[in-house]
Amino acid sequence: MSANNPAAVIVLAAGGGTRMKSKRLPKVLHEICGRSLVGHAVAAAQELTPSQLVVVVGHMRELVQQHLAEQYPDARTAVQLEQNGTGHAVRTALESLSADGIELDGTVVVTTGDAPLLTAATLAALVEAHAEQGNGVTVLTAVVPDAFGYGRILRSESDGAVAAIVEEKDATEAQRAIDEINSGVFAFDAKLLVEALGRLNTNNSQGEEYLTDTLGILRAAGHRVGAVVAGDFRDILGINDRVQLAEARRILNARLVERAMRAGVTVVDPASTWFDVQVTYEPDAVVLPNTQLHGTTHLGEGSEVGPNCTLTDTLVGADAHVSNATTFGAEIGELASVGPYAYLRPGTKLARKAKAGTYVEIKNSEVGEGSKVPHLSYIGDTTIGEGSNIGAASVTVNYDGVNKHRTTIGSHCRTGSDNMFIAPVTVGDGAYTAAGSVIISDVPAGALGVSRAQQRNIPGWVERKRPGTASARAAAAATGETAETVETVED
């Protein structure tokens, strides 16, 4: 471990978040840009490569622990049964490590689970300054336009060092006018942190152990208390309600969109474009207005997505075009075309130059190179070879009410419009099927499959059965006959 790799990062995520007014989720599991609030904190911490990463959980802890186990298995959790303050939460984390025989030596970073805009670069700057200055503790601060609700930084008049942090409820009017605030993020010397935590008390308006009180304790003991001011004050913004959640999402999305544009992606309208943090892209991709890119979606070089698209966990190949479409877990090949108004569901794989056109839904199916499903069709559990064309209004009937079955359509096939393929069924290479057919048996290679009733016409039926209608009059005029018995009725 290098000097700038912390011995531990402790993420405080035990609070109830009552202002979120949620009965289903703890605050830290609300998400922005494809990642939970606590997930953002853990991801930033992981970039520091700490020896230990501990998340302190409390409110709805089972949900938080399950989420961390699934998404961040390298993070361990410590349970704060009663939320007795931030100082108590940090001590809970240290005691959890100690119970497993882990005694820390080096830098301990304490951060919060509700500050999703905090970057790993800002944390790294904090750790670096802490080491270079030889501080007992270093606090991350920010100068903000509105300091309401935050702890204010009190600096020494003699040397400008941090003298204390006073919480909003405990501050005087003069102290509330200070615009430098505490982020809730600190870098401590591990040994000094343990000593200071042991001297905390609850003599404050909340009756809790404030972690911020450790700064005064360490300063009184002769240890240097330093501060690093965040370059962007928005990095430290915490989330307390859904209004702040939406604002943080807007800020983070703007960062993600800007990063994409600087990497060579054309984003026509950044204000209506949304990126998740895991989205990747290659140069010369184009994103048109009102497009959302979620999960692990990847845009290939020269691809064009939008307008009005929502892509989730979707791979878009080079020079592919996707318009007015919704996709989940799909693979869209090089030079392929999707939409408008298409729906690609999980397991869909479009090969090079394949097409899923207007009002087409595809699920768990492979469409071969150059093959087309142009319009008004459902393709489910199907394999289509190369160079085939599927007629309009076709359905692969894959579900018998109990089990799913597969349809295979070979290469260079031409299937007629309004076909039903009753799976399991195979259409051989080069075969045709007639329009309006219900294909219930395999069609051999090169054959024409036809399955429809013989058409029968009944002359004069309209004039006899629908007298007095516009249809009857039109038919009579067309045949040169006179509808002598027709009485005018409401058309």
Q: Which of 298, 321, 375, 412 is catalytic?
A: 375
Verify whether residue 321 is a known catalytic residue.
no
Q: What's the Cα-to-Cα distance from 75 to each of 45, 49, 55, 403, rounded to whole Å? A: 10, 12, 7, 41
CA distance linking residue 211 with residue 200, whole number of Å: 8
Residue with the two structure tokens 């057919």: 437
Residues in contact with 458: Cβ distance below 8 Å, sequence separation at least 6, in sequence order = none
CA distance linking residue 29 with residue 35, whole number of Å: 9
CA distance linking residue 69 with residue 171, whole number of Å: 40
Cite the active site residues: 375
